[in-house]
Amino acid sequence: MKTTAKMKMAAGCLIGLLAFNAAADAPTIRDVAVRQRWPWSRLVDIDYVLDCDATQRVDVTVSAFDSAESLTLPEDSLSGDRYSVPPGAGRIVWDPSKSGYTNEVLPSFRVSLTPVPAPLYMIVDLITTQTVYLSESDLASGDWGAVQTNPVAGVESIIWTGVTNNTDYMTSKLVLRRVPAGTYLMGGSKSVILTKDFYAGIFEVTEAQWGNIMGPPSSLVTPVYSKSYLNIRGSSVGVNWPSSHAVDDNSFLGELRARTGVKGFDLPTDAQWEYLCRAGTTSYYYDGVSTDSTYTAVLSTLAWWKDNSSNTRHPVGGKLPNAWGLYDTIGNLCEWCLDWYDVTLTGGTDPVGPPPGTARVFRGGCYSHIASQVAIAYRWNVGPTSTANILSFRVIVNLP
């Protein structure tokens, strides 16, 4: 081999080493390989290697092209390692049958993968249907109002408290907070592993937000109430959980999914609800300290309950949020969960609740409940047709 060729290779190795070291600062993606699973399946594997710090987690955005033409890949056509991805080998799977290219041959398909920091907040505009994501640096810029660091002892977090100063976020927009995958003890006893990040609405759905989706228009920023499980998910396919995440087109969630294009909107499962409410704490309420229902002074800073509510619901966001910036998870109005009710907690990995029964779970207690009934672990149940006036809900967005 000629000396020049050897020098080129050595230089290539050196550049490779330098690039590898530089990756410690900014996440990078390399070694991207695209291949359809011929002859077995039309699914397309997009393999890659992510270089970043060992503790870092990033989202991966996918841009696809056929030659120079940009392709639109629907969110639900992509699965695999896209959210909160650790360093190392990853795979994203694209299902062409869930895209607009079902009956096409794409002769020059290629992708561009970009690692991006996982956003903290997701803002869905119910009028324009646009979705905006806010990262930690966006919040730090000051453009979005006040933020608070580590609001709850023992949990590291940054939350957006300025969100309560603009009623748009309670009327024409939905604000959701990224909830990290993790493990906790449900009810203090059953180990639960939630393997995927999801977004949780920071407020209970308000009258105004319901009105924007289902009508009639309203300007009230109090939680919507007297909506049955069937109103929210539908009485046809919407009753099929846990066998399916599908909802009826004419239900609140059906209309919300269709309008925003965000297919992951749903109610939280029982396990997701307690996890999002605890927000990393193990305390009786989400203050990180309380151990029983005698902490009524603390409770009154967190929730509208029997002793401070004047026996009525209140505008959302009026009390202290939890460590992940979620308001009114306890008190104000109770919140529907996705699962059927059983007195025994199932626990496990991504639990979906018991088999079909007669009542659905609801959580969090309400303005008329005593201190022990607004505890994080307290569980209720009622038939899915119930339109009780203490029942509201909060939406989440499941990530694929």
Partner 1 sequence: MSNMKKTMAACVAAALLLTGAEVFAAPSGQVLVDGDLQSTHWMTVFTNTVNLAWNWSTDATKAQLDITDISGTTCTTNFTKTVSNYLWQAFASDVPAAEDVYDLTLTLSTDDDEIVGVLTSRLAVVHGAFGAVTIDAVEVSREWQKVDKNVVIPYDASFSESATNAASAQLVIAKQGGAAETNTFADVVGYYGWKLRNNGWGYGTFDLLLTFTGTTNEWPATLTRPLDGTILRMQ
Which residue ranges make up the site for partner 1 (CB under 8 A)? 1, 5-6, 9-10, 12-13, 16-17, 19-20, 30-42, 44-45, 47, 49, 51, 65-67, 89, 91, 96-97, 99, 101-110
Least distance (Å) between residue 130 CB and partner 1: 29
Residue 190 C-beta-side C-alpha neighbours within 13 Å: 19
For residue 340, with 0-12 CB atoms within 10 Å meaning exposed, 13-18 middle and 19 or more buried, which class applies? buried
Return the number of the residue (79 or 250) whose C-beta is nearest partner 1.
79
Least distance (Å) between residue 190 CB and partner 1: 24
Cα–Cα distances in angstroms (integers) from residue 188 to residues 278, 289, 308, 317, 347, in the given order: 11, 15, 27, 27, 11
DSSP symbols for 302-361: H---TTTSTTS---TT-S---TTS---SSSSSEEEEEEEP-SS---EES---SSS-S-EE
Q: Give the tokens for residue 374.
A: 């607004």
Return the number of the residue (77 or 209) whose C-beta is nearest partner 1.
77
Return the number of the residue (3 or 311) whose C-beta is nearest partner 1.
3
Least distance (Å) between residue 266 CB and partner 1: 22
Return the number of the residue (31 or 136) whose C-beta is nearest partner 1.
31
The residue ranges of DSSP E strands in 121-225, in sequence order, are 121-125, 131-134, 147-149, 158-160, 173-179, 182-186, 190-194, 198-201
**DSSP conformational letter for 52:** -
Least distance (Å) between residue 15 CB and partner 1: 9
Rg of the chain (C-alpha set) = 23
CA 328 to chain centre: 17
Return the number of the residue (49 or 214) whose C-beta is nearest partner 1.
49
**69 DSSP β-pair partners:** 66
Least distance (Å) between residue 112 CB and partner 1: 12
Q: Omega before 217 cis (within 30°)?
A: no
Q: Show the CA angle centred on residue 305, arms to residues 302 and 306, nearest 5°.
A: 150
Return the number of the residue (15 or 132) whose C-beta is nearest partner 1.
15
Residue 103's H or E segment, with its range, is none
Least distance (Å) between residue 62 CB and partner 1: 14
Return the number of the residue (44 or 396) whose C-beta is nearest partner 1.
44
CA 384 to chain centre: 23
Least distance (Å) between residue 101 CB and partner 1: 5
Return the number of the residue (6 or 130) whose C-beta is nearest partner 1.
6
Least distance (Å) between residue 89 CB and partner 1: 5
Least distance (Å) between residue 40 CB and partner 1: 5
Return the number of the residue (40 or 297) whose C-beta is nearest partner 1.
40
Whether the CB-CB separation of 331 and 312 falls below 8 Å is answered with: no
3-state secondary structure of 31: strand
